[in-house]
A = this chain, B = another copy of it.
Amino acid sequence: MTATTRRPALDRLLSPRSIAMVGASNSPTRIGGTVFANLLRAFPGDVYPINPKDEVVQNRPAFRTVSELPEAVDMAVIAVPAPAVVGVVAECAARGIGGATVITSGFAEAGPEGRALQDRLTEVSRETGIRVVGPNCIGYMNAHEGVMANFMMTVDQPLPQPGPVALVSQSGGFGSYITNKAVLAGLRLGWFVSTGNEADVNVANVLRHLVERPEVGVLLSFVETLRDPEVFVETACRAAELDKPLVLLKAGRSEEAARAAMSHTASIVGSAQVLDAVCRQYGVFVASTMEELLDFGTIFQDGRRARGNRVIVMTSSGGAGVLLADEAGQAGLSVPELPKEEQTALAADMPLPFYGSTVNPVDTTAQTTAMPDAYRKVLNRVAASPSADMVAAVTWAGPGPGNDAIVEMYQNTDKPVAILSTAWSEQFQQAGVPTYTDPRRAMAALAALARQSARRPLPPDPARFTADADRVRRVRELIAGTGGETTLLESTGKSILAMYGVPVTREELVTDVDGAVEAAERVGGPVAIKVMSYQLPHKSDVGAIRLGLRGPDAVRAGYREMLAEVARRAPDAVVEGVLVQQMAPARLELTCGLQRDPVFGPMVALGLGGVLVEVLSEAVLLRPPFDADTARAALGELLGGRLVTGRRGLSEAEQQAAAQVMAGLGVLALELDEVTEVDVNPLRVADGVVLAADALIVVDHG
C-alpha cells in the first residue's frame, strides 16, 4: 500500500494526484472528448486515457482497460454507456482506484431498468469501498488543484479564477448554469461538485468533506432531495464552529408543501418548513431565490465580518438612498442618524451650495459626480465613520473616478461593503467589490453577513444528551398499563408531560360521583369534567365533557348528565374514569406538539392554538436537543415577532413557560422513541401562566 492509497477514498476522489478516464475520446463534440480535454488543462499529475479502440487519445497513449493502468490512480472519470458502468467501477475498485466520477446518464432517472443499474452501482461502492460521484452528473471542478473533471465548460472558455467559494449541486445542469452565472457575477469559485443521482456520495457528504478544507471559506449548495440529514446537520455545526457560512437553495418546495397531512399537527408542518426550521436552528442560510444564493456568496467571499448591524449609506441619488434605507430596515439593519460632529466634518468636504444630506443616507447629490475629489473624500470619511459597521454606496456601472474611489474605499476599510450598481462592472469584479443591482438584494446580503457575524452559540451536542433512566422507566410503566392502546388517555398524557416539566392543569382522575365532588373541592374554583375512554378521543362529539361547573351540586348534576349522555350516544365506549380538571383561564391559546419528520426525525412545534390553528398555519419548529433559551429565541420569530412584542402578546414569564414546554417535549422526544406524536392543544396562556389543558400522546408499542 502506497502513501496515496492511505488517504480516505473520498479525499482521493476529490483531490486526486493521478487520474484515469474511461471513455476518453478524440472527438471534441463528444462528452468523453470534452471532459478529457478539460482534465488535461490544468492538472499537474498523470492523466491516463482508457479507450479500447484508439491507441492515442488527445496525444496521450491510451490503455485498453482499467486493469492495464500502470498505477492505482486516485480517481477515474467514467463516460461509457450505462450498461457498462457497473463493471468498469468494479474493475476500478479491484485495481485499487479510490473513487469514480460517473458522468453517464440512464440510471434512476430513466425508469426501472436504470434504477436497477444504479442499485448495483451503489452495491459495488458499498462492498468495495470505492467512492462514487454520480451517475448522471456533470462532474466536478477542484480549481485549487487543477482538477476539471467535468463538461460544464468547453476548453475554449477561460478557467475561472479560483477562490474561497465552493458550490455543491445535485443537479448538474443547474450547477453548470449557476456556475456560469457565478462567474458573471464575480463570484470566485474554487470548487464545484455535481452529485447527480447520488448512488453513493451526496450533497451532504461533499459539504462535510469541503467544510474542513482550509481553502474553502463559503459553502453554497443546491439540492432537490436532501439525503443524510444527520451529516448535513453535523456539517452545519462544523461550519458554524469554523465560521464558514453555509447557504442552501432548495428546489421542490411547493411539491413538498402539498404533501398530504398525516395528522393534525402535520397539517401545519410541511417538510419545507422543517428544512427551513432546521437551517435556522443550525445557522444555515436558506436562499429564497437563485440570485440570492449568489448574492450571499458575493458578500461572504471576502471573509469580512461586521461588528454590529449599523449601515451607513452613501448616494448621489436621494431616491436610491431612501430605497436602500427602507430595505435596510426591512432586513433588520439600522441606518442610524450620524452624530452632529460627523455631519459637520462631512459637510466641510461637500461642494457649496450643498442641497444634499449628511444625516445618513449621506446624499452628495448629482453635483458631486462632477467633483471627484470631493466624492472621494466624503466616501472615505463615510467608510471610516465610527457610527457604522457596514457601508453601502450607490453608483452607475462604467469606468470613472467615482468608481475608482469606490474601489479605493473598499481596499482601505475592513468593514463589509455592498455597492448598488446599475449593472455588473468588471472593475468591481476584479477588485472583489461586492456588487448588487437592487437595493433589496444589497441589504439582504449585508443582513446575512450581520447574522453570520453575530452568531448565537450552537445547539447542544446530541451526542452528549443523557436520558433520565428513572423517568424513562416510570413513563414506560404508564405506557405498558394502557394494554396496547396507541393513543393514551388525556389523564395519562398529562401525567407524562408533567414529568417533563410541562405545567398542566390541576386535576384528578375519579371513578364515581362522590369522588368527583371531592376532587372538585381539592382542585378548587370552577372545574371541567371529562370522560376518559380509549374509544372517545373526540370527547365533545359525544357530550363527554362539561365545562365551568361550580360547587358540589353542579359537579354532581354535570357528572350524572354527562355519563348518561355518553351511555346514550356511545354505548360501546368503556369508561376508564372521569377527569376533574381546573378551568384554566386564557388570554391566548397556543398549541405545542411533537412530530417525527421522515427526514429530520423529532421536531417540536409551537404555534397559535384554538380555532385559529388551521386558519393561521404558522408554527416555530425546533429539532431536539435544544435548550429553553433556543426555544425562547424561536418564539420571537413567530408571527413576525408580534407574538412576543404585540401589546397582548406573551409576557416575559409566559415566554419562559412556553419555552419550557417546548424544551420538555424535546427531551421527551429523545428519551422515548416509542412516542410518535404529542399534541398539546390548547396550551392556555393568561397572567404569566401557561397550562396544558389537553394532551394527546400517540405511542408505537413496537
A residues neighboring B (CB under 8 Å): 29, 105-106, 109-110, 114, 136, 138, 151, 169-177, 180-181, 184, 222, 224, 249, 251-255, 288-291, 315-320, 322-323, 325-327, 329-330, 353, 355, 365-366, 370, 394, 396-397, 422-424, 437-441, 587-588, 608, 611-612, 614-617, 639, 642-643, 646-649
| CB < 8 Å neighbour of A614 from B105, B255, B422, B648 | B648
Expressed in whole angstroms, the Cα–Cα distance for A251 and B363 within the complex equals 15
A325 cross-chain contacts in B, Cβ below 8 A: 254
A138-B181 contact given A323-B251, A649-B615, CB 8 Å threshold: no
A611 touches B588 (CB 8 A): yes
Q: Tell me the number of copies of this protein.
A: 2
Contact B318 A173 (CB under 8 A): yes
User: CB distance A174 to B615 under 8 Å?
Assistant: no
The chain B residue sitting closest to A180, CB to CB, is B422
Selected A-B contacts with CB under 8 Å, 7 pairs: A106-B353, A174-B319, A177-B396, A289-B439, A290-B323, A611-B648, A617-B642
Cα A519 to Cα B338 with chains together (Å): 65
Assess the A138–B290 pair: CB atoms within 8 A.
Answer: no
Return A319 CB to nearest CB of chain B, in Å: 3
- Measured CA separation A616–B649 after assembly (Å): 10
Smallest CB gap from A293: residue in B = B438
Assess whether A330 is in contact with B639, with CB atoms less than 8 Å apart.
no
Contact present for B615 and A252 (CB under 8 Å): no
C-alpha spacing A397/B646, complex, angstroms: 48
In the bound assembly, the distance between CA atoms of A311 and B315 in angstroms comes to 40
Contact of A642 among B353, B615, B647 (CB under 8 A): B615
Residues of B contacting A642 in the complex (Cβ-Cβ under 8 angstroms): 614-617
Smallest beta-carbon distance A58→chain B, Å: 19
Establish whether residues A181 and B254, one from each chain, have CB atoms under 8 Å apart when the complex forms: no
Cross-chain contact A177 with B422 (CB below 8 angstroms): yes
Residue pair A317, B614 in contact (C-beta under 8 Å): no
Separation of A225 and B323 alpha carbons in the complex (Å): 13
> How many Å from the CB of A403 to the closest CB on chain B?
14
Question: Which residue of B181, B316, B319, B440 contacts A170 across the interface (Cβ within 8 Å)?
Answer: B319
User: A322 near B251 (CB under 8 angstroms)?
Assistant: yes
Minimal beta-carbon separation of A627 from chain B (angstroms) = 26
Q: A175-B319, A180-B397, A291-B437 are in contact. List 13 more A-B contacts (CB 8 A).
A: A171-B319, A174-B318, A177-B396, A180-B396, A252-B326, A254-B325, A254-B329, A289-B441, A290-B323, A587-B611, A614-B646, A615-B648, A616-B642
The CB with the most chain B CB atoms within 10 A, among A105, A175, A587, is that of: A105
B587 touching A615 by the CB < 8 A rule?
Answer: no
| A29, A138, A176, A222 interface centre (most CB from chain B within 10 Å) | A176
Q: Which residues from chain B contact A171 at a C-beta distance below 8 Å?
A: 317-320, 322
The answer to whether A326 touches B254 (Cβ under 8 A) is: yes
Q: For residue A156, give the distance in angstroms from its CB to the closest CB of chain B.
A: 12
Q: Tell me whether A169 and B319 are in contact (CB under 8 A).
A: yes
CB distance from A81 to the nearest CB of B (A): 9
Per a CB cutoff under 8 Å, which of B138, B355, B614 touches A647? B614
CB distance from A363 to the nearest CB of B (A): 8
**Which of B177, B319, B423 interacts with A317 by CB under 8 Å?**
B177
CA gap between A316 and B588 in the complex, in Å: 51
Q: Which residues of B contact A175 (CB under 8 A)?
A: 319
Neighbour of A251 across the interface among B319, B587, B614, CB < 8 A: B319
CB distance from A681 to the nearest CB of B (A): 13
**Cα(A261)–Cα(B50), bound, Å:** 76
Would you call A319 and B224 a contact (CB within 8 A)? yes
Choose one: B184, B253, B646; the contact of A617 (CB below 8 Å): B646
